[in-house]
Chain A
Amino acid sequence: MYRYDHYDQTIVDERVAQFRDQVARRLSGEIGEDEFKPLRLQNGLYMQLHAYMLRVAIPYGLLSSTQLRKLAEIARKYDRGYGHFSTRQNIQYNWPRLQDVPDILAELASVEMHAIQTSGNCIRNSTSDHLAGVARDEIVDPRVYCELIRQWSTFHPEFAYLPRKFKIAVTGAVKDRAAVRINDIGVRVVPDPEDPSRHGFEILVGGGLGRTPRIAEVCREFLPREHLLSYLEAILRVYNRHGRRDNKFKARIKILVGALGIAKFRAQVEAEWAQIRDGAMQLTDAEFERVAGHFEPPPYRTLPDRDTFVAALRLGKDRTLGRWVASNVIAHKVPGYSIVMISLKPKGRPPGDATSEQMELIADLADQFGFGQIVVTHEQNLVLPDVESDRLPELHARLTAQELAEPNIGKVTDIIACPGLDYCSLANARSIPIAVRIGQQIDDLDYIHDLGDLTLNISGCINACGQHHVGNIGILGIDKQGEEFYQLMLGGSASDDASLGKILGPAFSSEQIVDAVATVLSTYVDNRESPDEPFLDYVRRAGFGPFKERIYGHA
């Protein structure tokens, strides 16, 4: 993984000093709250319903075991003994005190971490494929480009006061696991059409959820890799100059792209890019090599292929182990190794939360069963990327002891939910209790596995932090005359076949919504062509009729 040199370390150390100075001036009254707000936001510090919330950056989701232990220590020392992993592969603490935050940042800097630009109207932490470096369908490791983007965007002097927040996602594999089409900019590694041994990027622009959900469109089909940063700079400059600033709900780049149309937007970007593409921003081979050197494969042992052994575990007599292998273990690109997903969605618990003890155990397991690395997924789970397949039963036993072996990755109970009204001052409705109750209602593991791969997303308000538009099943909390209601959406997807879900019908009370989800699931099971027809395919084929009939009594 990327390790800081003295330049990188100097920047985060100076950031700690800067924020300490800013907090001191806030506490002394030299800065008022209006002026302090953008400063603290650009350091990930939100004012929530009950307290401050601190969001710490985990660049493209990658952590060392040392860093994860530090996150556990911070949770114990400055918070209430747990942290919450977010859909942007970051971690959030819900109860820090303002005067402690400079010390927390100093602790983070000691393990090459920070909270820079995890919020505010600036370029946020880039997200990526959680299987980067180990996926079988990978073209190139996207983290090299994520790190180049991280450095370019960190304290970018021109783009710190954009019209609105700005999110970039990068994928280097055939299958998109990074949801690039719902980001402001999506970067896809693609082969060079003129020389397939080389690669560059397809650049997508204008995706996003929130009030006006939109799937990103292609801005440039092929961008040679040395021009990555100048092209991003051109897009950001067009957006900074021409994005709307009169209405925060119309300020995202998707609105500008929609208003101009992709052809006109592209023409503006290309005209700007033509002015800067051959300048100093052009990336050098030396820089590619320097950064790529940090992402060399770890020292894998030469092992025989163990795919048959893993398949046998999946179907074996031990059904607890078998189910876990079936849903939580993914084929690795290196023979004899497996990728293990750790679900942070155990029944009855808030999605994405981990206690300090769990983080420490996972850090130990990453050292004992891998090369000391952990990845946070945008579905709010964790990954141990390099586990020897022969040791899967042993690892399963260790995880089970800490209630970390929930076999539900990619299943209906692997729910993505925002913090909701329990924590967030924007929310209209609670999200986490709904997720918890759905997990309690659908607790037959055979049934969950029979339902197959299925995404369920819950947002507590229209800002869509739970990404409900792209859940196969999406739930949106709304406020109806002071009461919490929930809209049910079907048919969304965040992957290559990205689509936005549509509202099924009238909203449900918080009592009814859980039953409605159960009815959606049974409708699918009773009507699918075969168990091989995934839920999303069924919804796309059959339409809303069968669901409406069962839920509302008429189609």
Chain B
Amino acid sequence: MATPDAQLGPGSRRIIRLRERDGQQLPEIVVDHWQRLRDDEPYPALDTLPVLVSLARLVNEREQLAARSGSFGVWLPGAAEPEEVAEAVAALPLVAIEVPKFTDGRHFSLARLLRERYRFAGELRAFGDVLPDQLFYMRRCGYTSFELKPGKSLETGLRTLQVFSVSYQAAADQPPLYRRRI
């Protein structure tokens, strides 16, 4: 939190990210530099900046992406079919899923299937209409970073991420309680 908002670089923002510490995934607020590009947007002049592109652009411009020194990842619409995208994104360091409207829950299934069925191991991020009160569910479905909708409180997000200490059912994070109950 040392950097004031005004001094963040262009295209940078604060997000919440889970960090592995002592075997636990603890959320923290970090400055994020990934540049999310529309299909008609040029690559940033600064070659080291990491970029997120659509799946179509990844397929069409793989050579250009590989030639840059910055990392690249993909952003997917929440309604993407995991069967169709899983292979293309498998080895990427970051997949970001757009939540078009927070009441549209398709992305929860997409996230779980990418994690659990297709074993995606990189960072899985939610962006778009991302509100603090959905973060706990997102985390259980396998998301590891959260770009809140502009104007939403990151501090509230840190709190709501950890709102429950017990869950009944299986998800991306753990088996069902009936296999753990003591």
Q: Chain A residues in contact with chain B, CB under 8 A?
A: 5, 7, 10-11, 14-15, 17-18, 21-22, 25, 30-31, 35, 38-39, 121, 151-162, 229, 237, 240-241, 245, 275, 279-281, 283-284, 286-287, 290
Residues of B within 8 A of A38 (CB): 102-103
> When each residue 119-159 of chain B gets 1 if its CB lies under 8 Å from chain A and 0 otherwise, what string results?
00000000000010110111111000000000001001001
Bound complex: CA of A127 vs CA of B16, how far in Å?
39
**A157 & B178 in contact (Cβ 8 Å cutoff):** no
* Segment at the interface with A among B17-25, B32-40, B163-171: B163-171
**A151 & B169 in contact (Cβ 8 Å cutoff):** yes
Instruction: Provide 18 A-B residue pairs closer than 8 Å at the C-beta atoms, listed in order of the A residue.
Output: A7-B177, A15-B164, A18-B160, A18-B163, A121-B105, A151-B169, A152-B176, A155-B167, A156-B169, A157-B137, A157-B139, A160-B137, A161-B102, A162-B105, A229-B169, A245-B106, A279-B170, A281-B176
Among B137, B163, B170, B179, find the residue whose CB has the most chain A CB atoms closer than 10 A.
Answer: B170
Contacts A11-B164, A11-B168; is A22 near B133 (CB within 8 Å)? Answer: yes
Bound complex: CA of A5 vs CA of B104, how far in Å?
34
Contacts A30-B156, A157-B141, A280-B179; is A237 near B109 (CB within 8 Å)? Answer: yes
**A155 & B178 in contact (Cβ 8 Å cutoff):** no
Instruction: Report the minimum CB–CB distance from A35 to chain B (whole Å).
Output: 6
**B106 & A240 in contact (Cβ 8 Å cutoff):** yes
Indicate whether B108 reaches chain A with its CB closer than 8 angstroms: yes
Instruction: Across the interface, name the chain B residue whose C-beta is closest to A160.
Output: B137
Contacts A30-B153, A161-B108, A287-B178; is A35 near B131 (CB within 8 Å)? Answer: yes
**A155 & B105 in contact (Cβ 8 Å cutoff):** no
Residues of B within 8 A of A7 (CB): 166, 177, 181
Instruction: Report the minimum CB–CB distance from A41 to chain B (whole Å).
Output: 11
**B105 & A152 in contact (Cβ 8 Å cutoff):** no
Number of A-B pairs, beta carbon distance below 8 Å: 108
Residues of A within 8 A of B178 (CB): 151, 283-284, 286-287, 290
Residues of B within 8 A of A237 (CB): 109
Instruction: Across the interface, name the chain B residue whose C-beta is closest to A25.
Output: B156
**A151 & B105 in contact (Cβ 8 Å cutoff):** no
Bound complex: CA of A5 vs CA of B109, how far in Å?
30
Contacting A157 at CB < 8 Å: which of B81, B117, B133, B140? B140
Instruction: Report the minimum CB–CB distance from B150 to chain A (whole Å).
Output: 14
Residues of A within 8 A of B136 (CB): 157
**B104 & A245 in contact (Cβ 8 Å cutoff):** yes
Instruction: Report the minimum CB–CB distance from A121 to chain B (whole Å).
Output: 7
Residues of A within 8 A of B81 (CB): 241
**B163 & A152 in contact (Cβ 8 Å cutoff):** no
Instruction: Across the interface, name the chain B residue whose C-beta is closest to A245.
Output: B104
Given A11-B168, A14-B164, A157-B138, 11 more contacts at CB 8 Å? A11-B166, A14-B165, A14-B166, A18-B164, A151-B169, A157-B167, A161-B104, A161-B105, A161-B134, A241-B106, A245-B106
**B168 & A154 in contact (Cβ 8 Å cutoff):** yes
Among B136, B168, B175, find the residue whose CB has the most chain A CB atoms closer than 10 A.
Answer: B168
**A240 & B105 in contact (Cβ 8 Å cutoff):** yes
Bound complex: CA of A280 vs CA of B180, how far in Å?
11
Residues of A within 8 A of B168 (CB): 11, 151-152, 154-155
**B137 & A35 in contact (Cβ 8 Å cutoff):** no
**A240 & B159 in contact (Cβ 8 Å cutoff):** no
Bound complex: CA of A31 vs CA of B131, how far in Å?
10
Instruction: Across the interface, name the chain A residue whose C-beta is closest to B173.
Output: A157
Instruction: Across the interface, name the chain A residue whose C-beta is closest to B153.
Output: A30
**B105 & A159 in contact (Cβ 8 Å cutoff):** yes
**A158 & B131 in contact (Cβ 8 Å cutoff):** no
